[in-house]
Structure 1
């Protein structure tokens, strides 16, 4: 009798075997970023400030996982194209979509506000794509890039901090700092301009920040 043929391992198990320890921390980053989005939606449904503050708290936790995954990868000397792509995808959820969703939940829901939030997320996507393409050149032969072109997308944690502080002061919704302006057919909350500034700094090619 011929020996029974071995079945190939299911694809999902094969993929998991290709993960390094750092990659699971990267997935933790993405998970907390998505939790921020869901809690922001929960705040819109319930109006409870604690849901908003919990949503804001997810971003710095995601940042901790983002820092740890890089350090673990360098410690274990395990770098891969998969890990780099995972990191970028996780970052856009945690530090792009998450802060934008929180901004919308905070009251940045006018037409101009929405356009700025879309611009902010698109800048984040563009910045991460550019980083992935130029990372090898910027690393100058080492396993770590020497500097960032434009501000790193995790700097959006500052925006989240501003929104969390506003929520603690009861200054979200109709009471947002700066009020709102009617410009043409749509409303603009001046606070949304912080997202415009953040997005613009992310895609700047003239701004170079040393990577610590």
Structure 2
């Protein structure tokens, strides 16, 4: 089948930007790391769009997408948030970062074994990670409690049974 690997290149782009965000966290370049997460979101949007356009959706692509999403929208935002602010909170800050990653993983696992009905159950990890990236980018203009409170709320919303329409 011609073009079957093209969507996976976008998925790998998603993963690349997520790993780059982690490297930027190590370099204390938090705003740039947040931007990398948003670029990962663009790649995530394009991989699905291209797969449907080329009619090459597959179980392999779905699994690869979930693995990339966990890194880019779960681990990367949590590490950026921890390095930027949550580390000041000691074990509580670490617990918030870990909860975000674990809830994101649970959300992705549930998505992978559920038949899509036109709406998502729980907030997608891509949305949660994107919101955290935006908060990180604009953190200097926000109250200090916004980041940890948003992470806790989004952690809950990812594993909730709330119906979220697909846009």
Fold equivalence (TM over 0.5): yes
CA-atom RMSD, angstroms? 1.9
CA deviations over 1:41-71 (Å, ceiling 9, x no partner): 111xxxxxxx222111101100000000000
Quick one: distance in 2 between partners of 1:59 and 1:106? 15
Q: Give unpaired runs (5+ residues) of structure 2.
A: none
Retained in 1: the 8 A contact 2:34–2:137? yes
Structure showing the higher helix proportion among its residues: 2
Instruction: Identify which of 124, 129, 133 aligns with 2:113.
Output: 133
User: How is 1:1-212 mapped onto 2 (pairs within 5 angstroms)?
Assistant: 20-43=5-28, 51-109=29-87, 110-134=90-114, 137-139=115-117, 146-155=118-127, 156-167=129-140, 169=141, 177-178=144-145, 191-205=147-161, 207-212=162-167
Aligned length: 163
TM-score (norm 1): 0.72
CA deviations over 1:90-139 (Å, ceiling 9, x no partner): 000000001001101112012111011101100000000000000xx224
Bigger radius of gyration, 1 or 2? 1
SS in 2 for 1:138: coil
Runs (4+) of structure 1 exceeding 2 A deviation are none
Quick one: distance in 1 between partners of 2:147 and 2:5? 40
TM-score (norm 2): 0.91
Q: Give unpaired runs (5+ residues) of structure 1.
A: 1-16, 44-50, 140-145, 179-189
